[in-house]
Amino acid sequence: MLKDYKFKNKQLLQTALTHRSYLNEHRGEKLESNERLEFLGDAVLELIVSLYLYQKHPFMPEGKLTSLRAQFVQTKTLSMASNRLELGSKLNLSRGEKESGGAQNPSLLADTFEAIIGAIYQDSDFNNAYNFVQKNLLNPCEKLFKAKLPQDFKSKLQELVQSQGFSSPIYKVLSSLGPDHKKIFKVSVLVNHKSSGFGVGRSKQEAEQKAAQKALEKLAKK
């Protein structure tokens, strides 16, 4: 019933697909809404996206990681993931909720996607939940956000120099001028013990990224 993951406990899947409105019309049945699984899935999803971004962008500062994570877990992207999985057509909704377009409601679909993540985590383990999220949310979002993602030149430079057998680049602050709230940093990056680029920015991270960009441009000409 759900591609990319086969449930051992089918009841968990049914619960993940049951909206609370459905319970009002089926009071005699022993049913549970997906709200508790949504609560669990929300926490698991945040950890998955955080881990993914932390590993994929090893030099990105905390503020940018937080901002990028927010883009991945917003209602719009989660509802898009639900639509790709056609979860709307599988939802257990009340007649009134169906007639009012609940199966196409972005917020409801986003909640359902989180409930599915919680159900997979309960049914198996973190790795299966991670793989499901990567295939159905992270990979599609990377393509969607590609033009908007901040360039991580430090990671690219690290990969390049390591592929050439050199040790990791070394970043040195050459100067920091101005008051604390308006400092300007100048940074040099050393590749194989040679100065390969300079960068200037309002933070050390920004200056290092610009230095790495210059080093990449210099190495590309060789």
Catalytic residues: 42, 114
How far apart CA 33 and CA 36 sit, in angstroms, is 7
How far apart CA 76 and CA 127 sit, in angstroms, is 25
How far apart CA 162 and CA 166 sit, in angstroms, is 5
CB 211 within 8 A of CB 199: yes
Please, is 28 exposed, middle or buried when counting C-beta atoms within 10 Å of its C-beta (0-12, 13-18, 19+)?
exposed
Residue 148: partners with Cβ closer than 8 Å, 6 or more residues away:
71
Residue 181: partners with Cβ closer than 8 Å, 6 or more residues away:
none
Please, is 200 exposed, middle or buried when counting C-beta atoms within 10 Å of its C-beta (0-12, 13-18, 19+)?
middle
